[in-house]
Amino acid sequence: MARQDTIDDEDKVRLLRALAFQIHRKTPADEALGELLEHESKGGRRRAFRAGVDALAADGFTAAMAALGLFSDDAMVLLGLLADSGDHRLLSSGLGKIADLIEEKNP
């Protein structure tokens, strides 16, 4: 299997939906993201996810999401506010809606 350096839209949607699901179940955002990234980067399969793993360990959830390149800079500001709010339902819903938007743009 070839290593991939970027995250395509299908993987973005899958990652965001899985993350939203875990956060909705009250798993802390950084813990949920860490588990997902660990699973995706096992065996060096997905080099693109390693930047997220490193950023999560060093700077936390929002930095990891920025390192993954899933959102624009403007969206990262809003994501940071949602993550800092501590409202798991709001964060989960926001991530799900962004996954819907990405999916609609790329049917």
Residue corresponding to tokens 């997902």: 36
Query: Tens of pLDDT along 16-30?
Result: 999 999 999 999 999
Residue 86 is assigned to a structural domain of this protein:
yes
Residue 42, in any domain of the structure: yes
Q: Domain count of the chain?
A: 1
For residues 3 and 78, which has the higher predicted lDDT (pLDDT)?
78
Residue 83 lies in domain: 9-105
pLDDT of residue 49: 87
The per-residue pLDDT for 33 is 96
Q: Are 89 and 24 in contact (CB under 8 A)?
A: yes
Residues 6+ apart with CB under 8 A from 57: none
Segment 33-75, tens digit of pLDDT = 999 998 887 766 577 788 899 999 999 999 999 999 888 888 8
Residue 2 is assigned to a structural domain of this protein: no
Q: What is the pLDDT of residue 44?
A: 64
The residue type found at 41 is S
Is residue 80 within 8 Å of residue 72, measured between CB atoms?
no
Domain for residue 99, yes or no?
yes
Query: How far is Cα of residue 106 from the mean position of the Cα atoms in its chain?
Result: 18
Residue-wise burial string across 5-23, b where 16 or more C-beta atoms lie within 10 A, e elsewhere: eebeeebbbebbbbbbebb
Residue 1, domain member (yes or no): no
Residue 4 maps to a domain? no
In a domain, 78, yes or no: yes
At residue 1 the predicted structure's pLDDT band, cuts being 50, 70 and 90, is very low
